[in-house]
């Protein structure tokens, strides 16, 4: 059993064959997918997809989209969290965080949305799915400032060993996926090989972060629509890279990362047992 802890199944890239994507995932042994929201306008959509396919979802506003958010969008997240607080498929607040890699996103605006959504998660008693890109220290500072103790997942983790341990110390798991398959991702592979086994979860971030065997340059992707698209069925093959780095069997990798996903997102366990 595999759990894809981060897949944007609502993305337009899946509009033509979403049901087939889900079918391929299940055929590959991926029994559950967590679908995070990225803008206030898709809160209902991710919930709908989670219920349609027996998956789970998270509600939040992604840092790359905060500049286009309306003045009432945080209220919309708060209202949705309140409205669906008893929905067992609502497993986290996310995708939230900070991104200092992409230009043109005001740091103060990002910080405001991040901290306010941490407060919403704290009030709801839910873990968070954190977007981490050149921002680990400030994310950690925000968690400490808010006094956030519900943990979650540092998605697509790409920080240092010290930052990895700091997230782990605050109750977070670290998400790994396509980047593990690139031999030149030396730091990410080293961290995946050395952190405690209780800290690791698998994810695809599909349709993004494709593994090495699907990778295309931006120009190639533009020239051939659909080429290089990641999808959850690739997760077990990605996990082979983690197994090789850790010296594990693939079966042990599946059991371990699934247990860690349950620990990071406690509502998942009951869904998997249903």
pLDDT of res. 62: 98
Residue position matching structure tokens 């996990």: 239
Per-residue pLDDT of the chain (274 residues; tens, 9 = 90+): 999 999 999 999 999 999 999 999 999 999 999 999 999 999 999 999 999 999 999 999 999 999 999 989 999 999 999 999 999 999 999 999 999 999 999 999 999 999 999 999 999 999 999 999 999 999 999 999 999 999 999 999 999 999 999 999 999 999 999 999 999 999 999 999 999 999 999 999 999 999 999 987 656 655 666 578 999 999 999 999 999 999 999 999 999 999 999 999 999 998 876 6
Residue position matching structure tokens 């709801």: 124
pLDDT of res. 41: 96
The kind and range of the H/E element at 142 are: helix 136-146
Q: Which of 210, 208, 201 is nearest to 164 (CA)?
A: 201
Q: Which of 180, 63, 158 is nearest to 115 (CA)?
A: 63
pLDDT of res. 223: 62
pLDDT of res. 224: 63
pLDDT of res. 216: 74
For the whole model, what pTM was predicted?
Answer: 0.96
**What domains lie within the chain, and their CATH numbers?**
2-273 (3.20.20.140)
pLDDT of res. 141: 98
pLDDT of res. 228: 84
Rounded to whole angstroms, the Cα distance separating 113 from 128 reads 13
pLDDT of res. 180: 97
Rounded to whole angstroms, the Cα distance separating 116 from 136 reads 17
Rounded to whole angstroms, the Cα distance separating 69 from 89 reads 25
- Residue 130 near residue 152, CB atoms below 8 Å: yes
Rounded to whole angstroms, the Cα distance separating 50 from 206 reads 15
Rounded to whole angstroms, the Cα distance separating 257 from 175 reads 10
């Amino acid at each position: 059993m595999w759990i894809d802890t981060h897949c944007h199944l609502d993305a337009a890239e899946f509009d033509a064959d979403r049901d087939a994507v889900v079918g391929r995932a299940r055929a590959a042994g991926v029994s559950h997918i967590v679908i995070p929201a990225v803008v206030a306008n898709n809160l209902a959509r991710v919930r709908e997809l989670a219920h349609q396919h027996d998956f789970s979802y998270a509600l939040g506003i992604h840092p790359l989209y905060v500049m286009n958010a309306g003045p009432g969008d945080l209220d919309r997240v708060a209202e949705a969290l309140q409205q669906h607080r008893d929905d067992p498929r609502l497993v986290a607040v996310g995708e939230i965080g900070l991104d200092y890699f992409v230009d043109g996103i005001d740091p103060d605006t990002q910080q405001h949305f991040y901290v306010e959504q941490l407060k919403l998660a704290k009030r709801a008693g839910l873990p968070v799915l954190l977007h981490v890109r050149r921002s680990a220290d400030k994310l950690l500072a925000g968690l400490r400032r808010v006094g956030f103790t519900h943990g979650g997942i540092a998605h697509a983790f790409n920080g240092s060993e010290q930052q990895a341990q700091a997230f782990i110390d605050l109750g977070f798991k670290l998400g790994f996926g396509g980047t593990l398959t690139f031999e030149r991702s030396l730091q990410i592979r080293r961290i995946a090989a050395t952190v405690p086994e209780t800290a690791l979860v698998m994810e695809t971030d599909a349709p993004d972060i494709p593994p090495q065997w699907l990778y295309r340059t931006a120009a190639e992707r533009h020239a051939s629509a659909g080429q290089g698209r990641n999808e959850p069925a690739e997760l077990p093959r990605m996990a082979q890279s983690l197994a090789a780095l850790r010296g594990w069997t693939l079966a042990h990798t599946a059991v371990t990362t699934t247990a860690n996903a349950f620990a990071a997102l406690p509502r998942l366990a009951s869904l998997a047992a249903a």
